[in-house]
Amino acid sequence: MTVAAGLFIRGGASNINSTNAGIESLMLSAATEATAGFPRENMRSALSRMGTVIGSSSNNDYSVLSLGCTRLHFDKSWQIFTDVILRPSFTREDVSLVQDRMIVSLSDDTDNPDVYLQKLQERVAYAGHPYLNNTNGTPETVAKLTPDDLRRYHDKIFETSRLLLVIVGDLNPAEVKSLVASSIGKLPRGNYKPEPIPALAFDKSTVEVTPRELPTNYIQGLFTAPSLTSPDIYAMRIASSMLRDRVFEEVRVKRNLSYAPDAFLRTQAANVGGLYVTAVDANQSIRVMLSEIARLQNEPVGGDDIQGVVAQYLTNYYLGQETNAAQAGELAQYELIGGNWRNSVDVLEKLMAVTPADVQRVSQKYMRNIRFVVLGNPKSVDTGVFVGRAE
């Protein structure tokens, strides 16, 4: 039996700015290296002996410091986990090590076309929005951070009003309450009030081409999408799912234009969906994909098709929820950006209530004004094809 815990920090990209981007990621990562009670070698030895994993990660809306351990070793693992939160060492050596690791990772972002495509997409889609400040930072912003910066940021950010603790495992709630009260519960309360993240607004379709000599073109386009708190999210999930199936069939299976066409719907507070494809014939691929959007907008889908998507969702949902860590992540996501954790348990019921008219309506409402980015050969891109439809 295992236990998964996550201490989630609200704010994400809203906590940082263009000069300190990456500070939250670096602070959390450096905190897991050593603490006052567990110097580096002791911590590594103890974690390794128990098979316990403590890690961290960030996205546009929140960060997490996570713990994964066996039930047998929960008490000791919890002790280390809370020391990471309450008394990180931030030694110069540890910070320097993690900092170098992050800088190296960030520095080669332009080498991989897919990673670079996402960077290009962020610049276009998130211009003027808090999400433009990537929570992982840039090589320049991360390089400037010092151990003192991390200590100050740690003291500022670890206030209970900004945090959410999620624990999944075979534990007694009364005992956990006592453990939390004597550790994380002693952090300053603060007066953090989450501010709603501004919605993204795209007023027209655009395409920006970044020249690079590649065997194929890497293409992605984003449109705005409903957030988890919007009633439209359920119909949009069905619509996005159908679009994915259809572009796969039309672009890959029928025409062999690409091996990896995709339509997707993300899950973030200021939400987006989109299209992705790698193709030599960029124009034809996008023409076919936009035609499929138009078909969703103009022709009602069948009720059986919706039932099929819901059945897929049910299977994928339970497959994805098999681990304690996944269940903790799901609860946190809904609590932090989905209105309330309770909204995570009735998704299936709401998907089953979606009608063909709902799917058509959300396709018309959201699948438009697409912001495309292309990495590849500018001569292979006819701008009119990209911006001429789905508007």
Q: Which of residues 134-193 bind another protein (CB under 8 A)?
A: 159-161, 163-168, 171, 173, 176-177, 180-181, 184-187, 189-190
User: Candidates 18-26, 197-205, 330-338, 383-391 — which segment interacts with another protein by CB under 8 A?
Assistant: 330-338
Provide the mask over 307-326, with x wherever binding to another protein is found by CB under 8 A and - wherever it is not.
xxxxxxxxxxx--xx-x-xx
Indicate which single residue of 15, 56, 217, 258 sits in contact with another protein (rule: CB under 8 A).
56
Contact set for another protein, span 58-77 (CB under 8 A): 58-59, 64, 66, 68
Indicate which single residue of 73, 154, 244, 371 sits in contact with another protein (rule: CB under 8 A).
244
Contact set for another protein, span 335-354 (CB under 8 A): 335, 338, 341-342, 344-349, 351-352
Contact set for another protein, span 349-388 (CB under 8 A): 349, 351-352
In SS3 terms, the chain reads as: CEEEEEEEEECHHHHCCCCCCCHHHHHHHHHCCCECCCCHHHHHHHHHHHCCEEEEEECCCEEEEEEEEECCCHHHHHHHHHHHHHCECCCHHHHHHHHHHHHHHHHCCCCCHHHHHHHHHHHHHCCCCHHHCCCCCCHHHHHCCCHHHHHHHHHHHCCHHHEEEEEECCCCHHHHHHHHHCCHHHCCCCCCCCCCCCCCCCCCCEEEEEECCCCCEEEEEEEECCCCCCCCHHHHHHHHHHHHHHHHHHHHHHCCCCCCCEEEECCCCCCEEEEEEEECCHHHHHHHHHHHHHHHHHCCCCHHHHHHHHHHHHHHHHHHCCCHHHHHHHHHHHHHHCCCHHHHCCHHHHHHCCCHHHHHHHHHHHCCCCEEEEEECHHHCCHHHHHHCCC
Q: Is 222 in the site for another protein (CB under 8 A)?
A: no
Q: Is 127 in the site for another protein (CB under 8 A)?
A: no
Indicate which single residue of 119, 206, 248, 280 sits in contact with another protein (rule: CB under 8 A).
248
Output 106 or 328, the one with its CB closest to another protein: 328
Q: Is 266 in the site for another protein (CB under 8 A)?
A: yes
**Least distance between another protein and beta carbon 159 (Å):** 8
Q: Is 216 in the site for another protein (CB under 8 A)?
A: no
Output 244 or 371, the one with its CB closest to another protein: 244
Contact set for another protein, span 21-50 (CB under 8 A): 48
